[in-house]
Structure 1
Amino acid sequence: MKKLTIYFPTGIAYFFILLFCYASISKIFDFENFQVQIGQSPLLSAYAGFVSYAVIIIELLIVLALIFTNTKRLGLYASLGIMVAFTVYIFLILNYSEFIPCSCGGILEKMGWIEHLIFNIVCILLAMVAIIILEKEKERRLAHYISLMISVIIVNIGIVTYLFFSSEQIIKKENNFTRRFLMHPTLEKKQLQLSDSYYYFAGYDDKNIYLGNRKFPQTLLTLDTALAGKRVTNISLDNIKHPFRNIKLQVKAPYYYIYDGTVPVIFRGRLGNPKSKTISFNEAYFNQLIVLDSLRFAIRTQSSKTKQFVLADLNLNSAGEKLTLYSDILQKQIDGVFDIDGNFITDGFRSQLIYTYTYRNQFIVMDKDLKVQNQMNTIDTVRIAKIESKRLADGIHKMSAPPLKVNLRSAVHKNLLFNQSDLMGKHESKKTWQEASIVDVYKTDENEYIGSMYLFKKDSHGVSDFIVTDKYLYVIIDNKIIQHQFTKPITKYFISGEAENRSKE
Structure 2
Amino acid sequence: MSWNVHLIFNLFFVGLALTSILMLSPSKTANIIQTDRKKRWFYISSNIIFSTIIIIALFLSSEKIMRYENPFIRRFPKHPIVQDTIIDLKFNSYYFAGSDREKIYLGNYSNPLHITAISKKTKNKESIKIIFDSKKTLFSSVKIRIRDSSFYLMDGTVPAVFTGSKSNWKAEKQLTGLPYFTLAEPINQTKIILRSSNGRNAEHSIGIFNETKSPKIKYNSSLLQKQIDGIFDTDGMLLFDEKTNRAVYTYYYRNEYIVIDTNANLEYSANTIDTTTKAKIKVAHLKNNTERKLSAPAITVNAYTAVCENLLFVNSTVFGRFESDKLWEQSFIIDVYNLDTKSYLMSFSLYKIGNKKLSSIIVTPEYLYAIMGTDLGIYRLRDLLKNEINSLKSKEN
TM over 0.5: yes
Q: 1:394 to 1:142 in 2, by over 3 A?
A: same
Q: Which amino acid aligns with 1:350?
A: T
Spell out, residue by residue over 1:276-296, the C-alpha distance to the aligned partner (whole angstroms, 9 max, x if none).
246146731111110110121
Is the contact between residue 310 and residue 326 of structure 1 (CA under 8 Å) also seen in structure 2? Answer: yes
CA distance in 1, matches of 2:176, 2:138: 13
Residue in structure 1 matched with residue 117 of structure 2 by the alignment: 222
CA distance in 1, matches of 2:394, 2:62: 32
Q: Does 1:346 align with 2:230?
A: no
Match 2:361 to one of 456, 459, 466: 466
Q: Secondary structure at the match of 1:467?
A: strand
CA RMSD of aligned residues (A): 3.3
Residue in structure 2 matched with residue 232 of structure 1 by the alignment: 127
CA distance in 1, matches of 2:223, 2:204: 10
Q: 1:456 to 1:444 in 2, by over 3 A?
A: same
Structure holding more helix per residue: 1
Q: Does 1:290 align with 2:185?
A: yes
Deviation at 1:373, TM superposition (A): 1.2
Is the contact between residue 177 and residue 211 of structure 2 (CA under 8 Å) also seen in structure 1? Answer: no
Q: Does 1:496 align with 2:396?
A: no
Residue in structure 2 matched with residue 360 of structure 1 by the alignment: 254
The equivalences for 1:110-189 within 5 A come to 114-115=8-9, 118=12, 161-189=56-84
CA distance in 1, matches of 2:199, 2:341: 35
Residue in structure 2 matched with residue 401 of structure 1 by the alignment: 296
Q: Secondary structure at the match of 1:337?
A: coil
Residue in structure 1 matched with residue 215 of structure 2 by the alignment: 321
Is the contact between residue 341 and residue 357 of structure 1 (CA under 8 Å) also seen in structure 2? Answer: yes
Is the contact between residue 263 and residue 282 of structure 1 (CA under 8 Å) also seen in structure 2? Answer: no
Q: Does 1:195 align with 2:90?
A: yes
Deviation at 1:225, TM superposition (A): 1.6
Residue in structure 2 matched with residue 30 of structure 1 by the alignment: none
Residue in structure 2 matched with residue 256 of structure 1 by the alignment: 151
Is the contact between residue 288 and residue 301 of structure 1 (CA under 8 Å) also seen in structure 2? Answer: yes
Equivalences, count:
382
Deviates more, 1:243-252 or 1:174-183: 243-252
Q: Does 1:456 align with 2:347?
A: no
Q: 1:496 to 1:116 in 2, by over 3 A?
A: closer
Q: Secondary structure at the match of 2:321?
A: coil
Q: Secondary structure at the match of 1:474?
A: strand
Q: Which amino acid aligns with 1:483?
A: I
CA distance in 1, matches of 2:166, 2:372: 26
Deviation at 1:390, TM superposition (A): 2.5
Q: Does 1:266 align with 2:266?
A: no
Residue in structure 2 matched with residue 427 of structure 1 by the alignment: 322
Is the contact between residue 191 and residue 210 of structure 2 (CA under 8 Å) also seen in structure 1? Answer: yes
Deviation at 1:224, TM superposition (A): 1.8
Deviates more, 1:197-206 or 1:298-307: 298-307
Q: Secondary structure at the match of 1:317?
A: coil
Percentage of identical aligned residues: 32
Deviates more, 1:359-368 or 1:460-469: 460-469
Structure holding more strand per residue: 2
Is the contact between residue 183 and residue 489 of structure 1 (CA under 8 Å) also seen in structure 2? Answer: no
CA distance in 1, matches of 2:14, 2:371: 47
Q: Which amino acid aligns with 1:217?
A: P
Q: Secondary structure at the match of 1:184?
A: coil
Deviation at 1:270, TM superposition (A): 2.4
CA distance in 2, matches of 1:381, 1:199: 32
Deviation at 1:235, TM superposition (A): 2.7
Is the contact between residue 254 and residue 302 of structure 2 (CA under 8 Å) also seen in structure 1? Answer: yes
Deviation at 1:322, TM superposition (A): 1.4
CA distance in 2, matches of 1:375, 1:329: 9
Q: Give the unaligned 5+ runs of structure 1.
A: 1-36, 42-92, 95-99, 104-112, 500-505
Q: Secondary structure at the match of 1:412?
A: strand
CA distance in 1, matches of 2:308, 2:143: 22
CA distance in 2, matches of 1:389, 1:303: 19
Is the contact between residue 199 and residue 221 of structure 2 (CA under 8 Å) also seen in structure 1? Answer: no
Q: Secondary structure at the match of 1:206?
A: coil
Is the contact between residue 220 and residue 265 of structure 2 (CA under 8 Å) also seen in structure 1? Answer: no
Match 2:274 to one of 354, 376, 380: 380
Is the contact between residue 333 and residue 384 of structure 1 (CA under 8 Å) also seen in structure 2? Answer: yes
Is the contact between residue 281 and residue 297 of structure 2 (CA under 8 Å) also seen in structure 1? Answer: yes
Q: Which amino acid aligns with 1:455?
A: L
Q: Does 1:475 align with 2:370?
A: yes
Deviation at 1:189, TM superposition (A): 2.1
CA distance in 2, matches of 1:426, 1:303: 40
CA distance in 2, matches of 1:200, 1:218: 13
Spell out, residue by residue over 1:465-503, the C-alpha distance to the aligned partner (whole angstroms, 9 max, x if none).
11111212122222222222222211221210799xxxx
Residue in structure 2 matched with residue 208 of structure 1 by the alignment: 103
Q: Secondary structure at the match of 1:489?
A: helix
Q: Give the unaligned 5+ runs of structure 2.
A: none
